[in-house]
Structure 1
Amino acid sequence: MNKPTKSRQPNGASSIFQGKDGRWHGYVTVGVKDDGTPDRRHVGRETRPEITKAVRELEKQRDSTGVTKAGQTWTVKTWLTHWVENIAAPSVSENTIDGYRVAVYHHLIPGLGAHRLEKLEPEHLERFYKKMRENGSSAGTAHQAHRTIRTALNEATRRRHLATSPAAIAKAPKVEEEEVEPYTLEEIQRLLLEAGKHRNTARWVIALALGLRQGEVLGLQWTDVNFEDGVLDVRRGRLRPRYQHGCGDKCGRKPGYCPQKANIRRETKDTKTRAGKRSIGLPEELARLLRQHQDQQARERLLARDLWTEKGYVFTSPTGEPLNPNTDFHRWKDLLKSAKVRDGRLHDARHTAATVLLILGVSDSIVDRIMGWEPGKSARMRRRYQHVTSPVLQQTAAKVGGLLWGPRLDVIEPAPGGSVPGPSQSPVPTEPTVYVALLGERRIPFLRREHADAVASRWGADHPGQPAEVEEWDREKWVAKGSGGTRPVRDRMPDCRIVHHAHAVYLPGGDRLNIGRDEQWSITAWEFETELYTDLPVRWHTTRRLGQEVEAQVRGADKGAVAAAFAEACAQAVDRAKRPDQYGDTEVW
């Protein structure tokens, strides 16, 4: 009688058998190991039904989500530490890794670190987020922790340390985005008036007028400023310093407070998107302010002597070093307090600039370029940054009313220079030709040739020796080269106003210097020539001159306000001459 032949399972099939120890064992092939051999996983149970069920579950897991990779047993703590230091750190920017490290070491590891990685459940995460909120963390901080662990666990899933990511299932903490209220025109003017009393005035003008991010402003170098073409190039951003001990950790302080601290991070990095690298038209008033700032920096360089470190930055410390973002933030807070303007984030200045562009009716494509928004995301960013203010609503309501009921004779159009563009100016011309009056270094655009000719003739008479002529530009040329997205095109004859001035100079120690002329006088000036102060009752500041004297300058359209501010400016100039260290001036006389 022939013996029955034993059937052999095909390669890769699961197997079940009872061992000599009486227990049932099962092996399931779940993949291939790194060396190319089959990866067979073992399960053991007491009875055959139990082992059959366990094998079927392992096969089901293999066929659906995959089986975790064999090897090191990870805890949440060991995986997060490995991920943030060895996987994330080499591949993300410095600012991003800073955020990851805060979330990992300050929140996630203390709250979840003891869990076995494969045992972590969505409910663990949701309870953790709730506990964070109960302990005082903001919704934004809890959401940052969620985003961080989601990224880390997604990487663990991709590497087969997890079958599925519990963070992909857990409900993220709810974050309600607060509506940002941009600063009003009056608040902006008060901020600029106050900024004029301190160093780096142009830094705040750039933030409020052009909407550059903090890092973009602090990363500007003089090679990025093209005065001839009136263009500002944004190419890089300032990074927050990261310090380490220079004393061998003997001082007992944090690295940032070590007397011998050393910065281990580069100062700047390129903008993170292609759209972030952009060129922005400079309003002439801002270009003039930057020239003054450049002259002031040259005087500081001479005063600092050997202490000056030349790195080419536009905004620096009194010794030439780039400004620290943390110091810059506190300067902003101090500026808000001294100007008596409501508290707000430094980034709110960017919201303000975007909203101003909305009020002016600047086209979306130019807004995107000025703000540096990536195509495909720009519509969402405009919704986030451009806030519908009362002037916009009033303008829209007037258009609807005019369409349905006809024009109203009792409605007065907003005046030029107000919060809504009136009939006298348009941000970008719709006519094919723009008449540009070239007045020295200024470019003033007009819709009518007679207005441009009249201004050029008057300018030439008032400024002998300076060129004054009119050129015809087409619309494309104006948008490309003439600051077409920021400078309004005028369709009326501009005003020539009386501007009141006051000026005094004080020697070191506080004695007044006789400058051989009247301390107060008045002159006529075009409104576009001196918009920084002809549209304001008064504007004043004090500065230290090359010869170490301190001068007080006051200008404005209100003679009484100029006289009152002159007394305040002189008092500050005397104090600055006596106590230079209180104003960031050098102590070397």
Structure 2
Amino acid sequence: MPARWTATDEANLAADRAVIRKMRAKGEEPSAWLLAEYEELTERRKQAKPRRRKGDGGVYQRADGLWCVSLELPEGLDGKRRRKVICRRDKAAVISELRKAKTELEKHGDLATNSITVGKWMAHWMDDIAPQKIRPKTLAGYKTVVNGYIIPALGKKRIDKLTAQDVRTLHAVMQTTPKDPELRGQKELPAGTVMLSSTYTLLAHNALSAALKVALREGKIHTNPCDLVDRPRARVTQQKALTLEQAIRLLQHLATRADGPLWATYLLTGARRGEILGLEAERVTGELDLSWQLQRITDISKAPADWEYRELGGTLYLTRPKSNAGWRIIPLVEPLRSILKLQMGDQTEGLVFTRNNKPWDPDRATKEWNKLLAEAGLPGDIVLHGARHTVVELMFNAGVHETLTQEIVGHSNVAMTRKYKTKGNTPQLEAAMSSLSRLLGQA
């Protein structure tokens, strides 16, 4: 059995090595006894502590008999040093696991450790990763569900221990949570209590799934449990629209209001709220260029680097539509051509529609729409977005082909829409817009 190698032996070996090197540097030859002691110590060290094979790492045996090795990892989210310790009963097994871990580290740049919780990872993803890819409005929605539901429900769990059942539990908790915050925590809920919608649960699922997708890519987890669970289905609501008679009555009422051209533009185009509020005079020619929309963004610093926007003042910005289908140009036909000409006069730049010479606040526009319907004696449950549905319904009644309707209102869920993207189809689009105008021509 090899003699035990002690710390004193290691110190003597180091001292002998230093003296020998110093003497030879001066051109002197060390004494025979010094060389003999150095050779003896060197041989004893080899026998007592065999040299590790390349790739074995710092393998050591604990007092309990387990063979262990530690592997250095990148710094943690808190800037502290991180190591992954692997232990097995057999030395060969721990070396094998070490080599596998090194391969994974090389591939992903990191490995899962006990230190990362769902809460820490979600906070890191929201602050440092998501803003680079996700639009500010979507990110704001994610922040609400991450801080309000995901972290409270799953935040203390280790990210690598998260299961499909944990994701289902999150769904169940949200679907049984009252929409009214004052009712939450009560043991007995009043009859007819409205719970959080499945759309809200879907938003939380999407946020968690996106964060875990990055964790999977970086090697912090081996599977994304969200992929093992059915996504919640968004609640299907029947969006109400104005009838032809109601749309005509509203147009007649608009003739008495100074802001009538704004609301008439919604009814005659089916454009989104922000697209009309953000319409600029230089984009009104023989066509309407709906390539920008007005939005309120509370923290523009979180916007992705490649996201286009223009500041209007405060927290209001002009932004690009979120999809290619939303970025569109539609023909300008009568009576909208005359309505916009009357509104703009000799204006050649700037926003077409303003309130007190300032950009419209989107939420304020929604409230004004509700007041407008009340003044006109129309149902109050038709939201401003319902003007888009009104246009779709009226175009259908006017015999406009479905694909042309999709092109005009900018929907992206009909494959044939792409067929009508070229300038060559402008006559078809113009005919469709004219059909809508003729239908409303009784106003």
TM-score by length of 1: 0.51
Q: Tell me which residue corresponds to 2:431.
A: 484
Amino acid at match of 2:226: A
Q: Report the Cα offset of residue 208 of structure 1.
A: 2.4
Aligned partners of 1:215, 1:268: CA distance in 2, in Å? 9
C-alpha distance 71-311 of structure 1, shift in aligned 2 (>3 A):
farther
The within-5 A match list for 1:115-126 is 115-126=157-168
CA gap of 1:138–1:70, structure 2 versus 1, over 3 A, is: closer
Residue identity in the other structure for 1:239: Q
In the other structure, the counterpart of 1:242 is: 298
Per-residue CA distance 1:352-410 (angstroms, 9 max, x = gap): 22233333333355334312245xx424999xxxxxxxxxxxxxxxxxxxxxxxxxxxx
Which of 328, 333, 343 aligns to 2:381? It is 343
* Match of residue 451 from structure 1: none
The 3 A distance-change label for structure 1 pair 269 and 232 is same
Show CA shifts across 1:435-463 (max 9, x none). xxxxxxxxxxxxxxxxxxxxxxxxxxxxx
Instruction: Determine the C-alpha separation between the residues in 1 that align with 2:160 and 2:100.
Output: 17
1:276 alignment counterpart: 326
Structure 2 counterpart of 1:486, one-letter code: M
Structure 2 residue aligned with 1:42: 85
| SS state at 1:267 partner | strand
CA contact (8 A) 2:272 2:385 kept: yes
Distance change >3 Å, CA 487–CA 174, structure 1 → 2: closer
The correspondence of residues 124-523 of structure 1 with structure 2, limited to 5 A, is 124-136=166-178, 137-226=196-285, 229=286, 231-242=287-298, 265=315, 267-295=317-345, 312-318=350-356, 320-338=357-375, 339-374=377-412, 377-379=413-415, 479-480=426-427, 483-488=430-435
CA distance in 2, matches of 1:207, 1:286: 10
Deviation of the 1:156 alpha carbon = 1.4
Given residue 414 of structure 2, which amino acid in structure 1 is its aligned partner?
A: S
**Secondary structure at the residue paired with 1:274?**
coil
3-state secondary structure, aligned to 1:284: coil
Shift of 1:488: 4.1
What is the distance in 2 between the residues matched to 1:477 and 1:53?
69
Equivalent residue of 1:188, what SS? helix
Residue equivalent to 1:577: none
Q: Deviations over 1:251-295 (max 9, x none)?
A: xxxxxxxxxxx9654521123333333221123111112223235
Looking at structure 2, the residues matched to 92 and 239 of structure 1 have their Cα atoms a distance apart, in angstroms, of: 15
Q: Which has the higher helix share?
A: 2
Q: How far apart in 2 are the matches of 1:135 and 1:42?
A: 41
- Which stretches in structure 2 are left out of the alignment for 5+ residues? 1-46, 76-81, 179-195, 301-311
Q: Which amino acid aligns with 2:293?
A: G
Aligned match of 2:119 = 77
Which structure dedicates a bigger proportion of its chain to strand? 1
Q: Per-residue displacement from partner, 1:228-263 (whole Å, max 9, x unpaired)?
A: x3x21112010114289xxxxxxxxxxxxxxxxx96
Aligned pair count reads 355
- Are the aligned partners of 1:74 and 1:116 in contact in 2 as well (CA < 8 Å)? yes
Give the partner amino acid of 1:129.
H
**After superposition, what is the alpha-carbon deviation per residue over 1:162-183, rounded to whole angstroms, capped at 9, x for unaligned?**
2222222233333342343433
Structure with greater contact order relative to length (CA < 8 Å, sep ≥ 6): 2
CA distance in 2, matches of 1:215, 1:135: 32
Q: Could you report, residue by residue, the CA deviation over 1:392-434 in whole angstroms, capped at 9, with x for unpaired residues?
A: xxxxxxxxxxxxxxxxxxxxxxxxxxxxxxxxxxxxxxxxxxx
In the alignment, residue 82 of structure 1 is paired with which amino acid? H
Matching residue within 75, 95, 99 for 2:137? 95
**Percent sequence identity over aligned pairs:** 25
TM-score normalised per structure 2:
0.67
Q: 1:345 to 1:15 in 2, by over 3 A?
A: same
| Partner SS, residue 79 of structure 1 | helix
From the superposition, tell whether residues 13 and 169 of structure 1 become closer, same or farther in structure 2 (CA, over 3 Å).
farther
Q: Secondary structure at the match of 2:87?
A: strand
